[in-house]
A and B are shown apart, each in its own frame.
Chain A
Amino acid sequence: MGEDQKYITLGDEEVFDKFADTVYRLAFSRVKSKHDADDILGEVFLRYVKAEHKFLSEDHIKFWLIRTTINCSKSFFTSSWFKKIVPLDDTLYTSLKEHSSVYYAVMELPIKYRTAIHLYYYEEYSVKEIADILEISQSAVKSRLARAREQLKTKLEGVTFDV
């Protein structure tokens, strides 16, 4: 990469305002707990400030943040703290104002399907981009999405919309 490439300069606060919800929602969809998502949100943005990375575009920043969120939640799952505690499942229900069968159905999926669904339907990344983010092949993304849809279909039986 040449040295003359243009890097964008965004204030840290601006970046936070723009992407805090993105990070938080992805973290929530992965850890399924408000308090853990809070921790991950702080951790991701502290890493962002400390890392002093250079970014080419806003999308580049978003990509980096998503990748870091996934890493942070991964290390959260392997932490000894996580292994020792019993999760409080009700946190999920209290955070949603409107009860929605769709969101709960997604939350009941295994984590790898959940993340793929979240990135595809909420963040609207293409299969190729998701493959880049998750560092898996495109066909793996496709099969994860297909299996997730299959499970969602059985869960959402009677609800009429195409998945």
Chain B
Amino acid sequence: MFKDKYKKDNEQISADQPLKAYIKNRMAREGQKQKQAPKKILKSAVALALCACICFGAVFAHNKLADLGLINSLIPTAQVEIPSGKAVEPISYGEVFLLANKQYKNDNRFFTNTNGIVLEDAVEDMEMPEGDIAVPGAPADTGTTGRDDYNEYANGTTSSLSKPQAESVSSEKHFDLGGSHGNTSSKNNGTTATSRPSAVVERDPSSDVQSTEQSGEVSSSNSQTEEPVTSTPVTSAPNTSSKPETSVPEKEDENDYSGTNNQVAGVDEGDIIKTDGKYIYTLSLKNCTFSIIKASKGKMDVLSTTTVKGADFYSGDGAEMYILGDKVAIVSSFYKKDENGLKLHYERSRVDIFDCTDKENPVSTKTFEQDGMIHSSRLIDNKLYVISRCDRLYTKPDEDKPQTYIPCTYEGDTADLVEEDNLYLSADYKSYGFVVISSYDLSEASILDTLAVMGSCQNMYMSTSSLYICAVKSDETSNYTLLSRFGIDDGKVELKSLGSVLGATLNQFSLDEYSGNLRLVTTINIHNQIKKEVERYTASGSVVKDTVTYYESKTVNALYVLNSDLETIGKLEGIAPDERIYSARFMGNTAYFVTFRETDPLFSVDLSDPENPRILGELKIPGFSEYLHPFGSNLLFGFGQDADENTGRTLGLKLSMFNISDPANVTEQTTLKLQDKYSVAEHNHKAFLISYDKNLIAFPGQNSFLVYSYSARDGFTKKAEVAFSNWDQNSRMVYIGNYLYIFTDFSTITSLNLSDFTQIDKVTF
């Protein structure tokens, strides 16, 4: 029979045994990688982790808390030796020059200029004279920390630079900008404000070409979102036993409006929409404009759309807006490259202050600039704090021109160097760069103080009295965070203390200040070097023995409590091995945080004794929360992804409501799985509007802005949905009194009635 014969022939065909063994080996390695990185996000993080993890897999597979002792023995004990807890002395321009010069040469050693010729000065003497820099406040005996470079400087004596030279430099702090720096003047010539009398207005045809093009895009994108509102009538009144009434008084209260979703009460964070109860201010990242809309009982009137001249919100890292009375401040950053687009001339952050007393004609009052791209900003009372970071030098340091290596602030045509008293060195100065912190008085439109720290910045957290900056570093055993605490006092910024903890923070919610102590949660990556003998198969099929060195990466989480000198006073290490922190929230004496691999343990930690934090409970549910927000006094809202319990694969957005009335026994009260797979709100807490009093939970989904309400009986109920064009998820919602205003597509506001969620008005500008 043909069939039998064909089958018999086929049986003879088989892959060689060595090849099969080789493929199995590869599969095992790949499978290990997949297991270590169940989520897409994690994949890159564990690219180094290879197949030699079998012993660790066995160790950590069991009960996590039971293995605490073992895991703690793995955590490297040698902490970073940095001048922690000491008063920190400023450094001089001369010292900065020495560091900058060395770093510049290092950076450009193999760099070529645009013509492809190796820069001559870059291959000069690479050595730096020993003992030239004294690290401020460094302990006299640093011992052997394994950080030779650090000790090289730490053990050095005082600066050999002659003081008079440094003083002569500092005496000419005002200088005119020359060359490529000179064209900033054209940016500060005020603004063009166009009065907008009606709601939907045509763009001024005399405005520049770029704007008209963009306005065309706007109108076309809006045409796609016709009839965006699908309002759901309220079918049943929410369970009012534990909830406030949904219906609010008809009378519009001017003091009843929403602000940005801030982390700390009293510390305002910038956003693309703000309201003062009467007017709505919106910022268009696309068009570099801000608009003022009069809002009254859901009816809207676009009063003006003002172009911020010279600003570039789109190529920079976005922009943030603050309002203070009639003042509008816009914080953004921009950079300038040479005509070939290769060499960076400079990158700066800018603060534009507008006087909006006449809402139809806002006037630009002042424009300030400071070196470095914007990292973040905060507003306390009327003082605006802007934190920027310049990562590397783009000009060759010239000792006689301090502006080539010292960060500056700019106002009009003049540049001010950061004063010598305000220059500091943090422990990770080896990555040459500055974190520049400036404070501005918004009501006076003036710059108050500027401070620069050599170092880097990954995360920042600001309370009403302190500013914390985290820089993440890594060495051969693990990663660690260098912390610097700045005292904030009515515009005056002062470096108070330095400290360090193991691991890296996730975002600003990983940190919290409470009664003078800093509490933070970190994820530690422990690197273990593993040597293993493997068999390799050569192309010819023969077997070769080989020794391979792997770096096995292991994650573990920790909670630290630090005092105001940034000395660790309490810690909890070895939490949830193999997982990483996805969100955290500190509420008084209790900390909640979510770690995740396949299921989501929500940990609650008691911090009432800061020196002895202890885990109260852990709640395991599928999926994970990426944002936690208190809802009333006994509930915690969690927003994140649902995930498969076996594989950890994410399945789509999930809303959860946790009952935290007993922190030791947290329960998941309600959960709702959404159709949407992702949302911008997973990474940006400002996109949320969560109000317990109004019973509102609103956030942008994948293609539409979603408004939910919550009741103990019915769980989450969808109240309204406003579609937006797919490419822009940066939507926001504010409420004023009894009306909701949903800002989508940079240029459209839809207003809804809060009592029945019907659309009242819609404007496009």
Which residues does A use to contact B, with CB under 8 Å?
A: 3, 7, 9, 12-13, 16, 20-21, 24-25, 28-29, 37-38, 41-42, 45-46, 48-50, 52, 54, 95-98, 100, 102-103, 106, 117-118, 121-122, 152, 161-163
Contact = CB atoms under 8 A, between A and B. Distances in A.
B727 interface: no
B2 A16 contact: no
A97 B12 contact: yes
B647 A52 contact: yes
Contacts of A117: 6
Given A12-B31, A162-B2, A20 B15 contact: yes
B649 interface: yes
A81 B177 CA distance: 58
B545 interface: no
Contacts of A54: 647
B27 A122 contact: no
Contacts of A152: 2
Contacts of B13: 21, 24-25, 28, 95-96
A41 B13 CA distance: 13
Given A25-B14, A42-B19, A45-B23, 4 more contacts: A12-B28, A25-B13, A117-B6, A122-B7
B9 A102 contact: yes
B15 A41 contact: yes
Contact of B6 (A3, A52, A96, A122): A122
A48 B30 CA distance: 10
Given A16-B20, A24-B14, A46-B26, A96 B34 contact: no
Nearest to A42: B23
Q: Tell me the interface secondary structure of chain A in the complex.
A: helix
A25 to B, nearest CB: 5
Given A41-B15, A121-B2, A100 B8 contact: yes
B47 to A, nearest CB: 14
Given A13-B24, A21-B14, A52 B649 contact: yes
B3 interface: yes
A54 B644 CA distance: 11
Interface residues of B, number: 29
A7 B644 CA distance: 12
B14 A103 contact: no
10 contacts: A7-B646, A12-B28, A13-B24, A13-B27, A16-B20, A28-B13, A29-B10, A42-B26, A48-B27, A97-B12
B6 A16 contact: no
B1 interface: yes
Nearest to B34: A52
B10 to A, nearest CB: 5
Contacts of B647: 52, 54
A48 B5 CA distance: 31
Nearest to B30: A49
A99 to B, nearest CB: 10
Given A25-B13, A52-B34, A52-B649, A16 B24 contact: yes
Nearest to B7: A122
A43 to B, nearest CB: 9
Contacts of A96: 9, 12-13
Contacts of A103: 6, 9-10
B9 A49 contact: no
A121 B6 contact: yes
Contacts of B6: 102-103, 106, 117, 121-122
Q: Which 10 A-B pairs have the closest CB atoms?
A: A103-B9, A49-B30, A102-B5, A100-B9, A24-B15, A49-B27, A121-B3, A12-B27, A42-B23, A163-B2
Contacts of B20: 16, 20
Interface in B38-59: none
B207 to A, nearest CB: 51
Contacts of B646: 7, 9
A97 B10 CA distance: 11
Contacts of A122: 6-7, 10
Contact of A38 (B7, B19, B27, B649): B19
User: Which of B3, B16, B27, B31 has most chain A Cβ within 10 Å?
Assistant: B27
